[in-house]
Amino acid sequence: MVLCWTNAASTLYYKGYNKMESLKVYILIANRMCNDGIRSGLGLAVENHYAFPIIMNGEFPSFSTYMSENIAWVKDMEGQVYSCGAPAPDNCVDEEGNKLIAEISLEELGEAMRDADFIIPYGLPKQTNEPPAACAE
Amino acid sequence: MKILQVYRSEPNNDVKTLVQILNRDRESDEFHLNVENPDYDVLISKIFSADKTVCWW
Query: pLDDT tens, B1-56?
Result: 899 999 999 999 999 999 999 999 999 999 999 999 999 999 999 999 999 999 99
Return d(Cα A22, Cα B44) in angstroms, integer.
Answer: 27
Structural domains of chain A ordered from first start: 21-126 (3.40.1260.10)
User: B3: nearest CA in chain A?
Assistant: A114
Which among A109, A111, A125 is the nearest to B57, CB-wise?
A125
Interface check for A112 against chain B (CB to CB < 8 A): the answer is: no
Distances (CA, A) of B29 to A32, A116, B43, B51: 30, 18, 11, 11
Question: Checking phi first, is residue A48 left (phi over 0); if not, alpha (psi -120 to 50) or beta?
Answer: left
pTM of the predicted model over 0.90: no
pLDDT band at A115 (very low <50, low <70, confident <90, very high): very high
**Eight-state DSSP code of residue A76:** H
Give the whole-angstrom CA distance, residue A110 versus residue B17.
Answer: 8
**Mean pLDDT across chain A:** 82
Predicted-assembly ipTM surpassing the 0.95 threshold: no
